[in-house]
Amino acid sequence: RTRIKNERYESGVIPYAKMGYWDPDYVIKDTDVLALFRVSPQPGVDPVEASAAVAGESSTATWTVVWTDLLTACDLYRAKAYKVDAVPNTSDQYFAYISYDIDLFEEGSIANLTASIIGNVFGFKAVKALRLEDMRIPVAYLKTFQGPATGLIVERERMDKFGRPFLGATVKPKLGLSGKNYGRVVYEGLKGGLDFLKDDENINSQPFMRWKERFLYSMEAVNRSIAATGEVKGHYMNVTAATMENMYERAEFAKQLGTVIIMIDLVIGYTAIQTMAIWARQNDMILHLHRAGNSTYSRQKIHGMNFRVICKWMRMAGVDHIHAGTVVGKLEGDPLMIRGFYNTLLLPLRLDINLPPKGFFLSPNPT
């Protein structure tokens, strides 16, 4: 009864900050999941209130107070915006630091984690734009995920390549080749000195070349190039398909042909990615992820999500490597930004704050 009488449980619409989603004195726990959002409030909306709204809507809140909060440990489960800083050289953007209790998330589930962190808040009226810039995943939560299916050390051992980068390329044109001509390109590239060739993101099983035909000709090319050069070679077989059953079928066939690596596309979704990572570990297969589709939400600087976060989630999901961008070529890529992505993907456990230029907001950073 005492809890009902306090201001937190007044009837009507109450500001999110007043409901407990803003707590500048909050002491961060080692097990908390931390997120940093770039918040652009609507005109007239206080940045603290906008940040509290993001915290609320990505955890336990709705647009008004509900008495059923009293049936939960709501003081624990509320996300807390605990710090708001103005973004340098801007007049309407703010960095909002938000802490989430670990029990808000299902163990080992990227789908559940993202349903909260990016599930509903990006269409919220209190903000005109919102971008997830960084996350700190605590070790206690990180340990509930499988992690990379094989790992880079095992990949080097399997390919017998040490002391230098792998050299790879993508078959072009990526669409239109017959299976036999596709295999010819794979053979010429591998025989010419490449370690790997790969399918591109949108080569799956089209009328001009069905997946089984591509797999057969590509593996023939791999085996012939190994015989010709005496080196271990490989080709990334894209097993992306419409259903998990189809992907399993393609992955199993690739395994029977003797490939050491398969690939999937980011667009298949977080649950499918984790599922294929489990299959890859069980079947001793290297798993590559093409970041197809990421720029739809990562390229804009004030709305969407930083690719750095995708890098962390995909390490947790269990892929062995992912496209992380280059400084040259046709796609956008700032040198320091790309280096930051590489560090996020390669460095162990902890990363120091480095902002600017490489963009790490949260430290310690177990991912």
Structure tokens given for 221: 């090319």
Q: Do residues 148 and 289 touch, judged by C-beta distance below 8 A? A: no
Q: If we measure between CA atoms, which residue out of 276, 311, 315 comes closest to residue 291?
A: 311
Q: How confident is the model at residue 333 (pLDDT cuts 50, 70, 90)?
A: low
Look at residue 194 and give its three-state secondary structure: coil
CATH 3.30.70.150 in the chain is located at 2-142
Asked whether the predicted pLDDT for residue 220 surpasses 90, the reply is yes
What is the pLDDT averaged over residues 317-325? 86
Mean pLDDT of the chain: 86
Kind plus residue range of the DSSP H or E element containing 267: none
pLDDT reported for residue 63 = 58
Within 258-334, where are the H helices?
A: 270-282, 295-298, 307-317
Q: How confident is the model at residue 87 (pLDDT cuts 50, 70, 90)?
A: very high
Q: Do residues 232 and 221 touch, judged by C-beta distance below 8 A? A: no
Q: Do residues 286 and 320 touch, judged by C-beta distance below 8 A? A: yes
Angle formed at CA 145 by CA 144 and CA 149, multiple of 5 degrees: 150
pLDDT reported for residue 12 = 56
- How many CA within 13 A on the CB side of residue 300? 11
pLDDT reported for residue 355 = 46
pLDDT reported for residue 80 = 92
Within 22-127, where are the H helices?
A: 47-57, 74-77, 110-117
Asked whether the predicted pLDDT for residue 357 surpasses 50, the reply is no
Level-2 CATH architecture, domain 2-142:
2-Layer Sandwich (3.30)
What does CATH list as the number for 152-323?
A: 3.20.20.110
Q: How confident is the model at residue 23 (pLDDT cuts 50, 70, 90)?
A: very high
Asked whether the predicted pLDDT for residue 301 surpasses 80, the reply is yes
| Percentage of the chain modeled with pLDDT above 70 | 85
What is the pLDDT averaged over residues 197-221? 95
Determine whether 235 is an active site residue.
no
Q: Which residue has the tokens 């955890």?
A: 59
- Cite the beta strand spans of the chain per DSSP E: 33-41, 80-86, 94-100, 127-136, 168-170, 196-198, 234-238, 261-265, 286-290, 304-305, 321-322
In Å, what is the CA distance from 359 to each residue of 117, 137, 313, 356, 363? 19, 16, 17, 6, 11
pTM listed for this prediction: 0.87
Quote the crossing angle between the two packed helices 211-229 and 244-257, to the nearest 10°: 30
Which conformational region is residue 12 in: left (phi greater than 0), alpha (psi within -120 to 50 degrees), or beta? left
Determine whether 233 is an active site residue.
no
User: Which of 143, 172, 180, 301 does the annotation list as catalytic?
Assistant: 172
User: Which of 80, 233, 288, 290 does the annotation list as catalytic?
Assistant: 290
Q: Please tell me whether the peptide bond between 356 and the residue prior to it is cis, using omega within 30 degrees of 0.
A: yes
Q: How confident is the model at residue 11 (pLDDT cuts 50, 70, 90)?
A: low
| Percentage of the chain modeled with pLDDT above 90 | 57
Q: Which residue has the higher pLDDT, 154 or 4?
A: 154
Least reliable range by pLDDT among 66-70, 93-97, 130-134, 160-164:
66-70
Q: How confident is the model at residue 13 (pLDDT cuts 50, 70, 90)?
A: low
